[in-house]
Structure 1
Amino acid sequence: MKNIPVRIGWELYIPIFCIVFFPVFSEIKNNNWEIVFVPLAIIGIILFLTLTIRYRMDSDSLYIKNSIFGTTKIRISEIYKIEKTSNMISSPAPAISGRVEIYYKSDSIVISPKDFTDFEQKLLAVNPDITVKK
Structure 2
Amino acid sequence: MTKTYPSKINYWVYLPLIAFITYFISRAVIEGQWAGVIVVGTVSVFLIIPMIFITRYRITDTILNVRSGFIINKNIEIAKIKSIEPNHSILSAPALSFDRIEIFYNTYDSVIISPKNKEDFIETLKQINPAIVSEV
Q: Normalising to structure 1: TM-score of the pair? A: 0.81
Whole-angstrom distance in 2 between the partners of 1:77 and 1:69: 25
Could you say if the C-alpha distance between residues 27 and 57 of structure 1 is closer, same or farther in structure 2, counting changes exceeding 3 Å?
closer
The aligned residue for residue 63 of structure 2 is 61
Q: Any gaps of 5 or more consecutive residues in structure 2?
A: none
The answer to whether the 8 Å contact 2:82/2:105 transfers is: yes
Residue 103 of structure 2 is aligned to residue 102 of structure 1: yes
Alignment of 1:11-30 (within 5 A): 11-23=12-24
* SS of the residue 1:68 aligns to: coil
- Overall identity of the aligned pairs, in %: 28
Q: How big is the alpha-carbon RMSD for the aligned residues of Structure 1 and Structure 2?
A: 2.5
The answer to whether the 8 Å contact 2:50/2:68 transfers is: no
The answer to whether the 8 Å contact 1:83/1:100 transfers is: yes
Deviation per residue, 1:82-111 (Å, 9 max, x gap): 01101222221122x221100001200011
Residue 9 of structure 2 is aligned to residue 8 of structure 1: yes
Given the alignment, which residue of 87, 90, 109 partners 2:89?
A: 87
Whole-angstrom distance in 2 between the partners of 1:131 and 1:55: 19
Given the alignment, which residue of 40, 47, 50 partners 1:48?
A: 50
Q: In structure 2, give the amino acid aligned to 1:85.
A: N
Shift of 1:23: 4.9
Shift of 1:44: 2.6
Deviation per residue, 1:31-59 (Å, 9 max, x gap): x8x78665544433311233222211111
Could you say if the C-alpha distance between residues 67 and 20 of structure 1 is closer, same or farther in structure 2, counting changes exceeding 3 Å?
closer
The answer to whether the 8 Å contact 1:62/1:76 transfers is: yes
The answer to whether the 8 Å contact 1:98/1:114 transfers is: no
Number of aligned residue pairs: 132
Given the alignment, which residue of 125, 131, 134 partners 1:132?
A: 134
Could you say if the C-alpha distance between residues 60 and 40 of structure 1 is closer, same or farther in structure 2, counting changes exceeding 3 Å?
same
Q: Any gaps of 5 or more consecutive residues in structure 1?
A: none
Q: Normalising to structure 2: TM-score of the pair? A: 0.80
